[in-house]
Structure 1
Amino acid sequence: MKELILASASPRRKEILDSLGVLFSVEISNFDESSITEKDPVKRCILTARGKAESLFKTLPQNEDAQKLILAADTLVFAENTPFPNEKIIFGKPKNEKEAEMMLKSHSGSVHFVVSAICLLDCKTGQINEKHSVSKVFFKKLSDKEISAYLKTDEWKDAAGAYKIQGKASFFIEKIEGSYTGIVGLPVRELYEILNKTEFRIL
């Protein structure tokens, strides 16, 4: 039986795996995400997830990794409503409250996209399987009062796009198109598909 290692410190990803009854351990990857310079948000997300998996793999003792699968993921938010054709604005995790406020104002009354990529690395064979989801999120028009109140919740911290859909930001979302779990940070259908290609059984 393969052992699954989640290469993420994200409590949301851990909660999703726990809710599915998946047995796993957690080991944090120290991959430098700033090393990815790809401009396309989907490609960037995929490369970052892969980088996290490969970075952790290099740190594992060679004689102990044969039965291990490393699962890494990355999530980012992007918008297409820019003045330049084919250009996208990428929203990472805000560095401070002011940056979070700017992101929320950008989301207000508009549509943005959330991409979540997952990478599964088989430590025995070195084989990599990757999947991703792209979801569409429709925000209602936010008042300055609502933005200020949300910032005080601190939910924006450590959240791509400055909000968490599973928290109080759900008050602001009119609808989504795509994967809810992908927006949270770990697309479950895609996870099921790549795990089914291995000896690790999720169902």
Structure 2
Amino acid sequence: MGGSGRIVLASASPRRLELLASAGVEFDVFASDIPEEAMAGESPEDFSLRLARDKAVAAAARTEGRWFIGADTIVVCDGEIMGKPADEADAVRMLRKLSGVAHAVITAYAIYDKARDGLLCKAVATKVFFKPLRDEEIAAYVATGCPMDKAGAYAIQGGAAHMVARIDGSYTNVVGLPLCEVVEDLRKLGAL
């Protein structure tokens, strides 16, 4: 798509880029850099939805295009919102907390239609079950550096695949973009 009908992904995540491209969607990338801090009393889903919306709208204010897709992925375990770890010790803490238990991966996405000033926002949740992890497994994984830029300190499509016993829901949601839902909504809105 060209000109004002362009789709713009408001994310620098290589995983989101790969997922959207794999669906045959033509798009440009313009990452928006917004603070990712939860507000007092904000639920995990509302937090993720707000960030997705803010990313899409911020990108639309700074570049050309018509359709802007913002997304945010969080891991929620026992009520704790787990974003990207602050450091290696935080990554170890997160992985220990996830060890042997189920948790939710929530990816919210927002599609902003700049021409109509319209916004569609949704959140998709997937339940992920981790096997019990040994301390040496956690240490080896953290030493790879992979967990450092991932919500919940793991990537299901990468080095943590062997840690996931099963999932209930969308695999692409856990990777970072609920592809089925996003593509269907782009079609419904007339972007595809």
Q: Which TM-score bucket, shorter chain as reference?
A: over 0.9
Residues 195/136 of structure 1: CA separation in 2 closer, same or farther (3 Å cut): same
Deviations 1:28-49 (A, max 9, x none): 1122222744531111100110
Question: Structure 1 stretches of 5 or more lacking a match?
Answer: 81-87
SS for the counterpart of 1:137 is strand
Determine which of 31, 55, 71 is the counterpart of 2:58. Answer: 55
Partner residue, 2:177: 186
Q: Alignment length, in residue pairs?
A: 189
The answer on whether the counterparts of 1:38 and 1:44 sit within 8 Å (CA) in structure 2 is no
Residues 1:108 and 2:82 aligned together:
no
Normalising to structure 1: TM-score of the pair?
0.89
Question: Structure 2 stretches of 5 or more lacking a match?
Answer: none
Given residue 52 of structure 1, which amino acid in structure 2 is its aligned partner?
A: K
CA RMSD in angstroms, aligned pairs only: 1.4
Runs of 4+ deviating beyond 3 Å: 35-38
SS for the counterpart of 1:157 is helix
Tell me the distance in 1 between the aligned counterparts of 2:80 and 2:180. 27
Partner residue, 1:97: 88
Bigger helix share: 2
Given residue 95 of structure 1, which amino acid in structure 2 is its aligned partner?
A: A
Partner residue, 2:24: 21
Residues 35/144 of structure 1: CA separation in 2 closer, same or farther (3 Å cut): closer
Instruction: Give, in angstroms, the shift of residue 155 of structure 1.
Output: 1.1
Q: 1:38-53 alignment to 2 at 5 Å?
A: 38-53=41-56
Q: Give the structure with higher Rg (CA).
A: 1
The answer on whether the counterparts of 1:115 and 1:134 sit within 8 Å (CA) in structure 2 is yes
Q: 1:68-107 alignment to 2 at 5 Å?
A: 68-80=66-78, 88-107=79-98
SS for the counterpart of 2:188 is coil
Given residue 8 of structure 1, which amino acid in structure 2 is its aligned partner?
A: S
Partner residue, 1:127: 118
Given residue 100 of structure 2, which amino acid in structure 1 is its aligned partner?
A: G
SS for the counterpart of 2:86 is coil
Tell me the distance in 1 between the aligned counterparts of 2:39 and 2:11. 17
SS for the counterpart of 1:147 is helix
